[in-house]
Amino acid sequence: MSKKYGLPVMAVVCALGRDKREVWTNWLAGKRDTSVLSDAYIPDHTVRVGAVKGPLPSCDKRWPYLVSRNIQLLEAAFQQIEQDVSLLLTQYQPSRVAIVLGTSTSGVAEGEHAIAEQENSAFPESFHYAQQEMGSPAVYLKKKLGLTGPAYCISTACSSSAKVFNSAKNLLASGMADAVILGGVDSLCKLTLNGFFALESVASDEAQPFGEHRDGINIGEGAALFIMTNEAAEVNLLGVGESSDAYHMSAPHPEGLGAEAAICAALEQACLEPSQVAYINLHGTATPLNDKMEALAVERVFGDNTLCSSTKHQTGHTLGAAGAIENALCWLLLHPAFNCNAEIPGMNADYALDPELPNINLLFGPRAYPYHHKLGSTLSHSFAFGGSNAVVCLGHKDVFND
């Protein structure tokens, strides 16, 4: 068995809920009315977005040049684990705690507002370029906690916060850190909505992962954070597989060869056979090409045996935060304090599945499905532009022997 890297702590905020208990309850119940219609992003068009509803906590005012909605989402997640982090900092020196976060939009929305409000070529005084830099979430959290160890962001589009799991593991394995705060955060902005709209990849209404008439994504926002250590926990990182097929700038490899390579690499690092994976959280964007190639890859590796689903019709596609948020869902599945009855939520969707896709074991009904064996390990798929792929394998501490 591979070495386990413990993930004792997790926090999440997204369209499904504002903390892990609410997210779990709504996911288990098959909650669907999570997206909202908005005309604020694409000119002359109304689209569905997976927005986090309600007020967000304020940013730390000591660094006004970092203030953004993206940092507010990060704060909303961080405040859920603040006590755990404080305890962590009594155990380890500030130089021994690292931060690795994924993002793809960062504070771009603040730049958009500044451009809209500029007068005579002057930006508003409240705007600072650092708000929209990709590294700003890690800079903010490092300053807030007074850390002096490694702190950086990964930005590889939709695989950003899946890749942080491998980076965090490597920091621990190399001895560069004793603990890592990792995760991802992304906020809604016009740039991404209009970009995907130009690619004809935004859904006309609700996204339909693996649906017969799927026509694109609902973009979302949110954040998820974890603490990773060398000590095994209830939920652990077992392996990460990465690949870079570089097939096309925005289209995936049509046969899913890069996706399959990442899946197999994750299984190899975790020392697992495909039959030992209980559940796969699919990338499942609801775009025609992505769902097809992913179904082909899953069928080749797992056949029609392994339970799987997409959750992007409930969370929205949270881009740079997607890997972290979807692994947060896997963490909830594996943690007995939440999934005490060993159930896996169904997709609770009312559209027809695409009959032309390979036959994979999609949990498509409105109910939660009882899992009749030990729910021991999960995979989460993240496949990004340019063929930047990452697959994360999490596992419960008691299922496999070391």
Q: Which ranges constitute the DSSP H helices of 63-209?
A: 69-78, 82-91, 108-117, 136-145, 160-173, 190-198
Examine residue 401 and state whether it is found in any structural domain, yes or no: no
Distance of CA 51 to the CA centre of its chain: 15
Global model pTM greater than 0.95: yes
The number of residues making up the chain comes to 402
Catalytic-residue membership of 317: yes
Q: Is 143 part of a structural domain of the chain?
A: yes
Given 14, 153, 158, 189, which residue is catalytic?
A: 158
**Range scoring the smallest mean pLDDT among 20-24, 97-101, 121-125:** 121-125
Question: pLDDT tens digits, residue range 110-160?
Answer: 999 998 888 777 888 888 989 999 999 999 999 999 999 999 999 999 999
402 inside domain: no
What is the percentage of the chain residues whose pLDDT exceeds 70?
Answer: 98
What does the block give as tokens for 169? Answer: 């593991």
51: in domain = yes
For residue 246, count other CB atoms closer than 10 A to its CB.
11
pLDDT tens-place string over residues 187-227: 999 999 999 999 999 999 999 999 999 999 999 999 999 99
> From CA 238, how far away is CA 1, in angstroms rounded?
9
Give domain status of residue 123, yes or no.
Answer: yes
CATH number for the domain harbouring residue 241: 3.40.47.10
- Which amino acid, one-letter code, is at 124? P
Measure the CA–CA gap between 272 and 1, rounded to whole angstroms: 8
β pairing state of 343-345 and 368-370: antiparallel
Domain that holds residue 26: 5-396
Instruction: Please identify which of the residues 283, 313, 335, 381 carries the catalytic annotation.
Output: 283
Q: List the structure tokens of 116.
A: 């809209």
Is position 290 within any domain?
A: yes
171 vs 184: CA distance, rounded Å = 17
Whether 308 is catalytic: no
Asked if 248 is an active-site residue, the reply is: no
CA dihedral (188, 193, 195, 196) positive or negative: positive
Average of per-residue pLDDT across 324-329: 98
7 and 15 Cβ atoms separated by less than 8 Å: no
Q: How many whole angstroms separate alpha carbon 194 and alpha carbon 317?
A: 14
Question: Which letter, b or e, does each residue of 315-347 get, where b requires 16 or more Cβ atoms within 10 Å of its Cβ?
Answer: bbbbbbbbbbbbbbbbbbbbbeebbeebebbbb
How far CA 366 is from CA of 266, 315, 346, in Å, comes to 30, 16, 6
User: Quick count: other Cβ atoms within 10 Å of Cβ 79?
Assistant: 13
8 A C-beta contact, residue 351 and residue 212: yes
Is the pLDDT score of 402 beyond 60? Answer: no
- Average pLDDT on 77-101 reads 98
Catalytic residue among 253, 317, 381, 396: 317
* Strand spans (E) along 268-387: 279-281, 307-309, 343-345, 361-362, 368-370, 377-384
pLDDT per residue over 27-57, tens digit each? Answer: 999 998 999 999 999 999 999 999 999 999 9
Burial class (CB in 10 A: 0-12, 13-18, 19+), 349: buried
| Comparison of pLDDT for 374 and 141, the residue scoring more | 141
Residue 185 phi, psi (nearest 5): -155, 135
Q: What single DSSP character describes residue 271? A: T
Number of domains forming the structure of the chain: 1
Contact 141, 73 (CB under 8 A): no
> What gap in Å lies between CA 281 and CA 236, rounded to an integer?
16
